[in-house]
Amino acid sequence: MSAPNNCLAAVAVVIATLLMLLPRPALAQTDWLKKGQEMLGAATKSPAATTDTSQIAAGLKEALRVGSDTVVSQLGKTDGFNADPAIHIPLPKSFTTVQATLKPLGMSSLLDDLELKLNRAAEQATPKAKALFLSAIEGMTMDDVMGIFNGPQDAATRYFQQKMSPQLAEEMKPIVDQSLSQAGAVQAYDTVMGQYKTVPFVPDVKADLSGYVVEQGMNGIFHYLAQEEAAIRQNPAKRTTELLKTVFGSK
């Protein structure tokens, strides 16, 4: 073969080689771009990507409203506290001496009656607390909302306990005072203490029934609010609205 023919053959081999190689990077690039577009499309269609902060805020507040409604309905009725071992309100610890003094004298029924009335007062006061919780929910800032949304299962309950307990207690106290009076707890207390003081040499006992019932009542509400909050986060069946499904289904 002559030298010119050798050169032509060499050029042909180079061109053929380039033609074989050039489409492969182009094809790989096309596949990569296609894959990226598919991933981007999937991401933009996912609940997590479409759930913005305003939806999260609305969803969290709705969850807390749903939880509050459930708790209030459960506790704010006859035996809501009294028949529930988890939140039943016993007599104050300061009554230990009173109980020890009166029970041997056959006066246990007086103590039982007072204990029942404390629970009845909490049951009557619970529905009145609903508006206070709703107000607190609506007053949450976006920082509060995101901290709760990304927090532990009882983050909202902890928020209420830390931020709202003093205000809630202050606003609930007159309601509990009235409920205690209507339930006859004040009269029952006076009866118990009147009998107690007839026993010689017994120590003086004082109890803030109103403050005690407020504290115990709030503890009961928070106890079940925490359970409702965790259930809505974890259990799809508890997400009773489309907004709850969108927000908490994305987590």
C-alpha span between 43 and 60 (Å, rounded): 23
Positive or negative, the CA dihedral 230, 233, 237, 243 is: positive
The chain-wide mean pLDDT, for the chain, equals 73
For residue 79, what pLDDT is reported? 96
State the DSSP code for 1. -
Centre a 10 Å sphere on the Cβ of residue 240 and count the other Cβ atoms it contains: 13
Tokens of 161: 């306990």
Share of the chain above pLDDT 70, in %: 69
Share of the chain above pLDDT 90, in %: 12
For residue 138, what pLDDT is reported? 85
Positive or negative, the CA dihedral 111, 117, 120, 122 is: negative
Q: How confident is the model at residue 251 (pLDDT cuts 50, 70, 90)?
A: low
Task: Confirm if 22 and 213 have CB atoms less than 8 A apart.
Answer: no
Tokens of 63: 């969850």
pTM of the full structure = 0.68
Residues 101-124 have pLDDT tens digits of: 777 777 777 778 888 988 988 898
